[in-house]
A and B are shown apart, each in its own frame.
Chain A
Amino acid sequence: MWMLAVRDGRDRAAFAALFDHFAPRLKGFFMRSGTASAQAEEIVQEVMLTVWHKAGQFDPARAQVSAWIYQIARNRQIDVFRKERRPMPEELLSDAHDAEPDATQILAVEQEASQLKQALARLKPDQRAIIEKAYLGELSHQEISTETGLPLGTIKSRIRLGLEKLRHDLKELR
């Protein structure tokens, strides 16, 4: 996995591979919310540098790489366009990567991520457009709560999976 090679080995080739995969997707993501090409690339650059510097915080048992980078990308956009730092939750104190990596959990997180992707691809275009707008940050929470048909069923199993892991980590800490 590229991200783990970046995190644990500071591996530049792996980082370059991550760049090749995510930089064009990040640029597309930013341009979808109306950012011009040149500025989108500036933000891509900052996001990818943050990925390099904050790699130590990445925990594959809790987040898929795309989810982790998505969060960094939205924070950077809020920084640039709203000129404010989004309040972030405390990091959990679990030293997940000092312990033996939980291979089953990592696999489960990856499987959930690909199921989410497939579920998104199967949606009707108008439903899919709503989901995209929501995660591009273009819907208010009132709009999200009135979209009763948000077909996020796959999110539910992702929540259960995450919660089991968090409870497990917390037990270890005690």
Chain B
Amino acid sequence: MTAITHHAPDALLAAYAAGSLPHPYALVVATHISLCLECRAEYEAHLAGGGAVLETVGAEAVSDGLKTSVLNLLDAPCAPQPTYPRTGVYPGPVMEALKGKPPRWKSLGLGVRQSILSSGREGSTRLLYIPPGQAVPDHSHNGLELTLVLQGSFSDSTGRFGVGDLEVADQDLEHTPTADPGAPCICLAATDAPLRFNSLVPRILQPFFRI
């Protein structure tokens, strides 16, 4: 396990623990926590904060029948939820987003590939595959962009990001992440708006690629 040097900021972990992060960011944070003990400890500490609020926020009497009906339901069968174990470089939360199947890569040109995991009103999540030495297509994004490295590494003006490292980029960051030599770089990326690439694919085609 290589040392993780770029972590999730505390506000992001607090918001994730409180369940107030939009789904795309929540997926990236859950995946980072799966790889990072320090952020797991911080996340669990925030759950303790939530527990303290639950204990103190004020009780409301429940109806007389509620306890009996819950006790009567204890033996009712409950459908187990499917679990998605880590597969290769993809931690459990990513495997769940992939519904247990391998990524479906689509070429973006120059060897760069993407596999869209989700795209909707709250933003989008995708896997990116970048050959060594290749730059992530120059792009701008409206809000916060989270990028988590799953394989290989990339570098940009803010530093080097290896497996488990999380880059938090706000809209002011002009960056051109470039995959380092060695293994191809695979990242999980989330934005709160459709990602626009400035080159590589003419803007007019972007609706077709959903990028």
Q: Chain B residues near A137 (CB, 8 Å)?
A: 18-20
Which residues B8-46 have CB closer than 8 A to chain A? 9-12, 14-21, 23, 25-27, 30-31, 33-34, 37-38, 40-46
Q: Chain A residues near B59 (CB, 8 Å)?
A: 24-25, 27-28
B residues bordering A, Cβ < 8 Å?
9-12, 14-21, 23, 25-27, 30-31, 33-34, 37-38, 40-63, 66-67, 69-71, 73-74, 78, 86, 91-93, 96-97
B158 CB to closest chain A CB (Å) equals 18
Whether B19 lies near A77 (C-beta < 8 A) is yes
Whether A139 lies near B15 (C-beta < 8 A) is yes
B132 CB to closest chain A CB (Å) equals 28
When the two chains form the complex, which single residue of A66, A84, A135, A166 contacts B18, counting CB atoms closer than 8 Å? A135
Whether A155 lies near B46 (C-beta < 8 A) is yes
Can you list 13 A-B pairs, Cβ within 8 angstroms, ordered by A? Answer: A32-B58, A63-B47, A73-B54, A77-B19, A86-B26, A87-B96, A117-B55, A136-B18, A141-B16, A141-B20, A152-B49, A156-B45, A163-B38
* A105 interface hit (Cβ, 8 Å): no
Contact A141:B19 (CB < 8 A) given known A29-B54, A53-B78, A162-B45 = no
Q: Chain B residues near A112 (CB, 8 Å)?
A: 48
Of A121, A156, A158, most B-chain CB atoms within 10 Å: A158
| Bound Cα distance from A77 to B19, whole angstroms | 9
Q: Chain A residues near B67 (CB, 8 Å)?
A: 16, 19-20, 23
Whether B15 lies near A141 (C-beta < 8 A) is yes
Whether B53 lies near A70 (C-beta < 8 A) is yes
Residue on A nearest B78 in the bound complex, by CB: A53
Contact A49:B54 (CB < 8 A) given known A144-B15, A162-B44 = no
* A7 interface hit (Cβ, 8 Å): no
Q: Chain B residues near A166 (CB, 8 Å)?
A: 37, 40-41
Contact A23:B48 (CB < 8 A) given known A16-B67, A32-B57, A86-B19 = no
| Bound Cα distance from A23 to B55, whole angstroms | 11
Q: Chain A residues near B74 (CB, 8 Å)?
A: 12, 15, 49, 52
* A104 interface hit (Cβ, 8 Å): no
B174 CB to closest chain A CB (Å) equals 21
B25 CB to closest chain A CB (Å) equals 8
Whether A88 lies near B93 (C-beta < 8 A) is yes
A172 CB to closest chain B CB (Å) equals 13
Q: Chain B residues near A69 (CB, 8 Å)?
A: 51, 54
Of A23, A48, A159, most B-chain CB atoms within 10 Å: A159
A131 CB to closest chain B CB (Å) equals 7
| Bound Cα distance from A136 to B59, whole angstroms | 14
Whether A89 lies near B49 (C-beta < 8 A) is no
Whether A24 lies near B61 (C-beta < 8 A) is yes
